[in-house]
Amino acid sequence: MLWRPIGIAMIFPTIGVALMITWQTRKIKAELFHNLAIVFWICANAMWMLLEFTGNDDHYRKYTSIPFSIGLFFILSYYLYIYPKERIREKKLAASLKTTEQPIELPSVN
């Protein structure tokens, strides 16, 4: 019985720290999307845990799939849409840097 209040109390700092980390890394797309997924997965686990503690897990357990699916959506959207665009942009940048380099001419020895 002691573990239930401790488990419930740990939900709020866990979600708070996950949100803080997500906010701090919001300018890096890869970190942002992964951390958003983690936040929603933590919420899904917290919902599941609360349902287990209250004994309502049989009927409402299916609703924990909603935040889990939202987290999965963030991961899939990053790897299917954003990551390929970033790779293409990096390749174009590398190609443009390669073509703008001036060859170094060595002095000829006669």
Q: Is residue 99 part of a domain?
A: no
Asked if 35 and 22 touch (Cβ cutoff 8 Å), the reply is: yes
Give start and end residues of each alpha helix (H) in 25-82: 29-54, 57-60, 65-77
Tell me which residue of 23, 26, 17, 32 sits closest to 74, measured CA to CA: 32
- With respect to residue 50, please indicate whether it lies within any of the assigned structural domains: yes
CB of 70 closer than 8 Å to CB of 38: no
The answer to whether residue 107 is domain-embedded is no
Entry pTM? 0.79
How many domains are contained in the chain?
Answer: 1
Q: What is the pLDDT along the chain (110 residues), one digit of tens a residue?
A: 688 888 899 999 999 999 999 999 999 999 999 999 999 999 999 999 998 888 877 788 889 999 999 999 999 999 999 999 999 988 888 877 776 666 667 677 66
User: What domain range includes position 58?
Assistant: 3-94
